[in-house]
Structure 1
Amino acid sequence: MNAQISNGVNQSKNIIIGIIAVLAVGAIILFANLNPQDSQRAEKIPDANGILIAEEKNFDFGTISMSKGNVSHAFKIKNESESAVSIKKIYTSCMCTSALIIDASGKKYGPFGMPGHGGGSPIANIEIKPNESVEVKAEFDPAAHGPSGVGLAKRTIYIETNSEKTPKIELEISAMVTK
């Protein structure tokens, strides 16, 4: 009987030691993944109180033919505040759509597309100063989906900012695609 009690105590000790070891390894992994530079970087880029306003958020190309090639439309976005706002990321909902940003000085950024589908990096880091505007040129390739890509197409350009008031802007284009 004493052997059974001793065996049970040893099993309990082994279980407790195993739990402590798992917790210790978990704590080491957790603290190893904390990078103080990341938190310092986040503190250096505070959220902006600025507001970005899109003059229009939707544009319909109407009926377009695949054979006539790409179509484009320029959306205007204005910083209607007294604080600068940074566009952090830009990406599209489909590989058939790309976006180009043209700032107030005429400098071009992009093209930006669908992440993971040849659209390049969505990272933008474009600053829009107070009362300045940028142009977001949306380009749509109606032939990108091949002959079966006829019918109504709706695509979105997503713009993520550091603004607390307008953290994300969505611009939508649509078209009735024919062969």
Structure 2
Amino acid sequence: MLKQFLIEQKNMLIGFVVVMIIFVGLVWLTQPGTSGGGRTNKSGGVVLAAAETDYDFGTVSMAAGNVSRRFTVKNPTDKPITLTKLYTSCMCTTASLLMGEKRVGPFGMAGHGFIPPISEVLEAGQTVEVEAVFDPTAHGPAGVGIIERMISLENDAGAPLEFRFSANVTP
């Protein structure tokens, strides 16, 4: 009887380990592209350029509503680069890609629904804008204080370009 109990416990432990390995693998596979603010490709060359990647909104009142900021992105290379994905770090933030009169998005937080590919080509020397919109009311009354958010723009030529902003949210 003790032997049967030990065999059952061993089988349960093995099953648990297998389930955990599968779970960790699925979580790892569904993560968006690597972050790290890199703007270099595998050979170390510059891929996308932005004069500004960090912005501080200062004090933002919930009562005043949404705030936004546009970041300019340039393809400094002599080859076209395909912009593949745009997403944010929190559901309180959306991001849109502005290409002349064309607006692609808005896109939200990875993991809070499907983030569709954008597949927009940025020609050599061309510039576009990424518009960040922050909703200070999204987290309710508990969302006051200092916040930091990030927007990632993935491309087919190298590491994602990351934009960060901060604010001090007040009621």
Same fold (TM over 0.5): yes
Which residue is 2:146 aligned to? Answer: 152
Question: How does 1:5-16 map onto structure 2 within 5 Å?
Answer: none
Give structure 1 regions of 4+ aligned residues with deviation exceeding 3 angstroms: none
Q: Share of identical aligned residues, percent?
A: 45
Q: Is 1:98 aligned with 2:94?
A: yes
Specify which of 44, 66, 70 is matched with residue 70 of structure 1.
66
Question: How does 1:116-135 map onto structure 2 within 5 Å?
Answer: 116-117=111-112, 120-135=114-129
Q: Is 1:176 aligned with 2:168?
A: yes
SS in 2 for 1:54: coil
**Alpha-carbon shift at residue 159 of structure 1 (Å):** 1.0
Q: Deviations over 1:25-61 (max 9, x none)?
A: xxxxxxxxxxxxxxxxxxxxxx9x8721011010100
8 Å CA contact retained: 1:50, 1:85? no
For residues 50 and 65 of structure 1, what CA distance do their matches in structure 2 show? 38
**Alpha-carbon shift at residue 116 of structure 1 (Å):** 3.5
Count of paired positions: 128
Q: Is 1:162 aligned with 2:153?
A: no
Q: Which 5+ residue runs of structure 2 have no aligned equivalent? A: 1-41
TM-score normalised to the size of structure 2? 0.71
Q: Which 5+ residue runs of structure 1 have no aligned equivalent? A: 1-46
For residues 46 and 58 of structure 2, what CA distance do their matches in structure 1 show? 34
Change (3 A) 1:122 1:157: farther
Which residue is 1:36 aligned to? Answer: none
Return the index of the structure with the highest Cα Rg. 1
For residues 130 and 72 of structure 1, what CA distance do their matches in structure 2 show? 27
Q: Deviations over 1:78-101 (max 9, x none)?
A: 011110011111110000000011
Superposition RMSD on alpha carbons, in Å?
A: 1.6
For residues 112 and 54 of structure 1, what CA distance do their matches in structure 2 show? 20
Amino acid at match of 2:123: K
**Alpha-carbon shift at residue 122 of structure 1 (Å):** 4.0
SS in 2 for 1:148: helix
Specify which of 77, 83, 87 is matched with residue 81 of structure 1.
77
